[in-house]
Structure formats: structure tokens, C-alpha cells
A and B are shown apart, each in its own frame.
Chain A
Amino acid sequence: DAGVTQSPTHLIKTRGQHVTLRCSPISGHKSVSWYQQVLGQGPQFIFQYYEKEERGRGNFPDRFSARQFPNYSSELNVNALLLGDSALYLCASSWPSPLHFGNGTRLTVT
């Protein structure tokens, strides 16, 4: 079975731009969660979606948004990028727990 797949693997953006990250969960998993991991820190919870509805939100500004599609895949959108948004963005799928992470998208904001 394929694991959690994320695209793209790497991305370089300029401050102020917008970015969309994509995630496909493990087959049969209906929940997708997004995490941000900056260097030297543990992952930080951004969003959880289940059956296309937001079920949890971490302490992130409104520049961050997400959605889940009928096939349970998900997108994370970040507007007005800041240098501090540079991080590894991890998608995880589950239902129920535990979480299984994808390989992540490395976002660099210059």
C-alpha cells in the first residue's frame, strides 16, 4: 500500500507570495492533519480534517488555510508568505490514530 504522499517535495517562494501544498492519505484513511516543523523543533499542529470538515486548528494565523476533498486528499494554503514560514510541512493521515506522516514538503521563503 502506498503511504502518505505529498507534493511538491521542495519549494522556494518569495516573501508575500502564496503557496499550495498537497497531500494524499493512505488508502482507507479519512483524516488528514497538517504540521509545521521548523529546524530543531518538534512538529507543530496546524489543522486536522475529517470527512471534509475541519476538526481541529492549532495556533496559526489566518494566512494558513486548508481543505479536504471528497477523495480525502487535502491542500494546505499559505498566503502572504513570511521568512518565518520556512519549514518542513508534514501531512499525516489516520483514522483512528496513530498518525502516519508523509515525506513532507520543504518550503523555503526568501
Chain B
Amino acid sequence: QKEVEQNSGPLSVPEGAIASLNCTYSDRGSQSFFWYRQYSGKSPELIMSIYSNGDKEDGRFTAQLNKASQYVSLLIRDSQPSDSATYLCAASVNQAGTALIFGKGTTLSVSS
């Protein structure tokens, strides 16, 4: 059974702090990894994709991938109340990266 695991949270951080979200995956064959943000009642919105070991930065967001440890993380710097949402980690189960296994999501709450 291929799985992606995340702590459901809630993760609470004050405004301006760094939020750290973590995820592990079971399928060593997964090649592509994604972080989606989902506001309550809305559809998932892509934040980051990462395909190789190491760090990838995009604005306030940094994704980290360690394939040996089967671990993916997302750091959000200078957290804002608008970052309060559920963050979904996903791993691909096909080469095209179009069939994804999602975790249950981590709920982030940023207080002002």
C-alpha cells in the first residue's frame, strides 16, 4: 500500500515565524513531489514541486527533499495569517507525475 503521511496538526505559529511542515512517503519509486495549499471549502492550489534531492526556494517557501530518508518538507518563512490553510503533500506514482498519492494534510494556523 503506497502511502504519504503527514501530521494532521493543527500547527500553530505566530505571524512572522517560520512554519515547518513535514511528510514521509512509502514508495521508493516516486520521482515527483508536490505541496498544495487548500483553503476551507476550496480546491488544492499548487505551491511547490520538487524532483531532486536538496532544497528548492520560491519566495517565502522552501521545499526540501531527501529521497534516501523518503522525506519531504515545506518551510514557510515570515508566516502570514493568509497562510492559514491545510497543506497537502503528494508523491507521484507514475512517471508522468499525473497520478498522485496525497497525505491527509496538515492544518496550519497563523495568529496575528
Question: Inside 8 A of B90's CB, which chain A residues have their CB?
Answer: 42
Q: Are B102 and A97 in contact (CB under 8 A)?
A: no
A98 at the interface (CB under 8 A from B): yes
Q: Which residue of B lies closest to A101 (CB)?
A: B43
**A51 CB, nearest partner CB in chain B, Å:** 12
**Complex alpha-carbon distance, A103 and B41, angstroms:** 9
Q: 3 closest A-B pairs (Cβ-Cβ)?
A: A97-B97, A42-B102, A56-B99
Tell which of B32, B43, B49, B101 has the most Cβ of chain A within 10 Å.
B43
**B44 CB, nearest partner CB in chain A, Å:** 5
Q: Which residue of A lies closest to B89 (CB)?
A: A42
A31 at the interface (CB under 8 A from B): yes
Question: Inside 8 A of B43's CB, which chain A residues have their CB?
Answer: 88, 90, 101-104
**Complex alpha-carbon distance, A56 and B98, angstroms:** 9
Sort chain A's interface into a size bin.
Answer: 20 to 34
**B103 CB, nearest partner CB in chain A, Å:** 5
**A106 CB, nearest partner CB in chain B, Å:** 9
**A26 CB, nearest partner CB in chain B, Å:** 12
**Complex alpha-carbon distance, A42 and B46, angstroms:** 14
B76 at the interface (CB under 8 A from A): no
Q: Are A40 and B99 in contact (CB under 8 A)?
A: no
Question: Inside 8 A of B100's CB, which chain A residues have their CB?
Answer: 43, 45, 99
Tell which of A96, A97, A101, A104 has the most Cβ of chain B within 10 Å.
A97
Q: Are A98 and B46 in contact (CB under 8 A)?
A: yes
Question: Inside 8 A of A96's CB, which chain B residues have their CB?
Answer: 96-98
B52 at the interface (CB under 8 A from A): no
**Complex alpha-carbon distance, A92 and B103, angstroms:** 17
**Complex alpha-carbon distance, A62 and B60, angstroms:** 43
Q: Are B104 and A97 in contact (CB under 8 A)?
A: no
**Complex alpha-carbon distance, A97 and B96, angstroms:** 6
**Complex alpha-carbon distance, A70 and B94, angstroms:** 24
Seed contacts A33-B99, A96-B96; 18 additional CB < 8 Å A-B pairs: A31-B98, A42-B104, A43-B102, A44-B102, A45-B99, A48-B94, A88-B43, A90-B44, A94-B98, A96-B98, A98-B32, A98-B49, A98-B97, A99-B46, A99-B97, A99-B98, A101-B36, A104-B43
